Structure 1
Amino acid sequence: MRSQRHLLSLPVLGAVVALAAAPAQAGDIASIRPIGFSPDGAVFAFEEYGIQDGSGFPYASIYTVDLNKDTYLPGTPFRARLEEDGASLAQARWKVQSAAETLLDAHEIDNQPAEFLAFNPITESDVDALKIRYRHVSALPPIEEPSTLVLEEIPEPPDPACEGVIEQKVSFRLRFTERDGKAANDVVYDDERIPNSRGCVSGYRLAGIVAGQTTGGGTVEVALVMVLSAGFEGPDGRWIAVPIKTAAPPTR
């Protein structure tokens, strides 16, 4: 059983909004906490949370992704937004974690933690928001050559619902241009359509890579992509998880 003490001790990953020094008009950028994988590497769960721009309401969501089908598990994601006066971010997170607990336990998500292989927060300067070069194994000295994953934004036809809100609606694809130190041209994800949940999306960031180990010794990797969509006071940042390396199916 997760405790409130455990919740409040969790590290904050990503950009934190609503600081005193923040501009008066700005969208909100959700923070992210990877939770983990199922033992077979087929399910990945993560939490995003923050303070909604405009309303000031605290919110939290937990997503559980079927990596083989690249879809959410039935009945998910879990979401909480607290509109009561004085409601806190900790309360929103506690509420959504309580709602997701049974499903997370059923898939043993907490037993297979997610490891950051690379992280590119929006607060970091002098980085390429559309490219990450990383190694697949945490080791010193390095035991392998790096791979390079790039995100390519694709202009989409005008959307009447977004006219006057953003200049251009875009989709994206993910491509490896380097694999283990060798040149490559390997598309691992390409938007077939833009889901309505992205709203008037004007851009993306390739914000991180996480990996997990299966009980059978395999590895799985997920790209964390930030979706930048029109918000009440500026661009809002929300997270999606895209499988870029799925675990091999078990042998019979």
Structure 2
Amino acid sequence: MTHRRKIALAATLLALPLAGQGHAGDFAHFQPIGFSADGKVFAYEEFGIEDGSGSAYSTVYFVDTVKDAYLPDTPLRVRLEEGHGGLAQARSKTAEQARPLVEEFEMRDHPGQVVALNPYTELGPAPNSIRYYAFPMEPRVGKPYTLALSTITLPAPERCKPFLDKGVGFRLELTERSGTPTSEVVHEDTRVPDSRRCPTGYRMAGVVTGNHLGNPVHVAMIMVLSLGFEGSDGRWIAVPVRPGT
């Protein structure tokens, strides 16, 4: 990348939403908060330190698992400039902002379970699929599920066109349900949302499940790789899956 293009990229990235700001190697942490009692809402936190600026950030997302959309007036975002507070303070601020919704939906009583995790640093599993049991039990109960991720070529967001020839979206499919092969599209992008900055790829990074008998909900955690100043940044998005029984 030329020096001029780097300067232009830096200016573009600084203009993006706070949750997407960052520098090379800025891979966010992920922490599930929980589900509502009926499984219709899932919340999680994404947090970290921006590489380069040193700014601490924390974002709490509340996802409507029926509509596959954020709840009104969310996500909740905090970003503290270096020297004006650290990561603990940023997380404390978003926790306080999120507290009314967390209490309303009784999420502390329904934390859910991380049943599969495939972070960017993992060398073994394929980055585009994940196979898991819905609940951790021994001896195992039930049969496994598999989610598969593939990329889609889409028009690049306007702000990304100086740096990317094409946009990258994704398709998520349920390819195994309770041990039985299937082919069900869970999510398919028709455009690249601005909130993803300038994405260059995706990773099937984890699954969180809730114990909601008769109406199970699984949440696929997708790692979004996007342009940073000198390399890729990583952020998390949640895609609800209704696998049936």
> Normalization by structure 1: what TM-score?
0.82
In structure 2, what is the Cα distance between the partners aligned to 1:50 and 1:132? Answer: 25
Matched with 2:62 is 64
In structure 2, what is the Cα distance between the partners aligned to 1:82 and 1:101? Answer: 20
Q: 1:236 aligns with which of 233, 238, 243?
A: 233
- Measured after TM superposition, the shift of residue 164 of structure 1 is 4.6
In structure 1, what is the Cα distance between the partners aligned to 2:42 and 2:157? Answer: 32
In structure 1, what is the Cα distance between the partners aligned to 2:104 and 2:96? Answer: 14
Matched with 2:139 is 141
In structure 1, what is the Cα distance between the partners aligned to 2:158 and 2:190? Answer: 20
**2:61–2:74 CA contact under 8 A, matched in 1:** yes
In structure 1, what is the Cα distance between the partners aligned to 2:24 and 2:140? Answer: 40
In structure 1, what is the Cα distance between the partners aligned to 2:178 and 2:190? Answer: 28
Segments ≥4 residues shifted beyond 6 Å: none
- Measured after TM superposition, the shift of residue 87 of structure 1 is 2.0
Matched with 1:105 is 103
Gaps of 5+ in 1: 1-24
Matched with 2:78 is 80
Aligned residue identity for 2:235 = R
**2:167–2:192 CA contact under 8 A, matched in 1:** no
In structure 1, what is the Cα distance between the partners aligned to 2:244 and 2:66? Answer: 9
**2:144–2:177 CA contact under 8 A, matched in 1:** yes
Please state which structure has a larger fraction of its residues in helix: 2
Counterpart mapping for 1:184-223 below 5 A: 184-214=182-212, 218-223=215-220
Q: Is 159-168 or 109-118 further displaced after alignment?
A: 159-168
- SS where residue 49 of structure 1 aligns? strand
In structure 2, what is the Cα distance between the partners aligned to 1:135 and 1:29? Answer: 27
- Measured after TM superposition, the shift of residue 114 of structure 1 is 1.5
- Measured after TM superposition, the shift of residue 86 of structure 1 is 5.4
Matched with 2:17 is none
> Normalization by structure 2: what TM-score?
0.84
Q: 1:225 aligns with which of 201, 222, 226?
A: 222
Offset from partner CA, 1:13-71 (integer Å, 9 cap, x none): xxxxxxxxxxxx83200000001000011100000100112311010010001111111
Offset from partner CA, 1:200-231 (integer Å, 9 cap, x none): 111111100111123x6542111001111112
**2:33–2:44 CA contact under 8 A, matched in 1:** yes
**2:53–2:82 CA contact under 8 A, matched in 1:** no
Matched with 1:46 is 44
**1:62–1:79 CA contact under 8 A, matched in 2:** yes
- Measured after TM superposition, the shift of residue 232 of structure 1 is 2.5
- Measured after TM superposition, the shift of residue 188 of structure 1 is 1.2
- SS where residue 101 of structure 2 aligns? helix
RMSD over equivalenced CA pairs, Å:
2.0
- SS where residue 192 of structure 2 aligns? coil
The count of residues paired between Structure 1 and Structure 2 equals: 223
**2:147–2:173 CA contact under 8 A, matched in 1:** yes
Structure 1 residues 160, 73: closer, same or farther in 2, change over 3 A?
A: closer
Structure 1 residues 147, 217: closer, same or farther in 2, change over 3 A?
A: closer
In structure 2, what is the Cα distance between the partners aligned to 1:247 and 1:113? Answer: 20
Structure 1 residues 180, 237: closer, same or farther in 2, change over 3 A?
A: same
Gaps of 5+ in 2: 1-22
